[in-house]
Copies of this chain bind each other. A is one copy, B any other.
């Protein structure tokens, strides 16, 4: 019997996944949580074999949850189930020691299979995503990332400069750098591309 805990912020999806997994005779859903902190408490309390978690959640994200489990050396495997086919996310997830990474685009049956594979000690990583993850590295440095994030919210170079204690010229330099590295032609495209790749 595989004991699991579910973390997913959308209540309806959480309930539906729970129903889905409860149909499997070898899986038991011990509990579920709507955010990272609550999930952490459930893990301590219920000691499941596997945590199935989304990435985007209020408070603590799924990735941070995985990191915490890894650092505390808890004997709990982690499977990420997310909408985002972003190579950067998978990379970070693997660094955090997760055993599985599925997309919500994948057929529902894959989840139970992945759960069994992981419980057996194996890994279940979305194959096509795994390829992309190792192909393209994030070309941005910290400053470029920060600046791009703010630019994507509609802030001007001047605003960003104030926020980061830089000169407005420097901000424009970083932005220009980022635009160049990403091979696009303005800050908006740069933001969209970086976001889509999971480089944020």
A: contact size bracket = 35 or more
Contact of A154 (CB < 8 Å), options: B10, B14, B184: B184
Chain copies in the assembled complex: 2
Query: Which residues of A from 100 to 137 have beta carbons under 8 Å from B?
Result: 102-111
Tell me whether A10 and B105 are in contact (CB under 8 A).
yes
* Residue of B whose beta carbon sits closest to that of A190: B154
Tell me whether B15 and A20 are in contact (CB under 8 A).
yes
Say if the beta carbon of A16 comes within 8 Å of chain B: yes
Tell me whether B16 and A153 are in contact (CB under 8 A).
no
Tell me whether B10 and A20 are in contact (CB under 8 A).
no
Distance to closest chain B CB from A3 (angstroms): 19
Query: Which residues of A from 139 to 171 have beta carbons under 8 Å from B?
Result: 151-154, 156
Say if the beta carbon of A1 comes within 8 Å of chain B: no
Contacts of A17 in B (CB 8 A): 12, 16
Query: Which residues of A from 80 to 115 have beta carbons under 8 Å from B?
Result: 81, 83, 102-111
Query: Which residues of A from 1 to 53 have beta carbons under 8 Å from B?
Result: 9-20, 23
Contacts of A102 in B (CB 8 A): 12
Contact of A12 (CB < 8 Å), options: B110, B151, B189, B192: B110
Complex Cα distance, B107 from A152, in Å, reads 32
Complex Cα distance, B22 from A16, in Å, reads 10
Distance to closest chain B CB from A138 (angstroms): 20
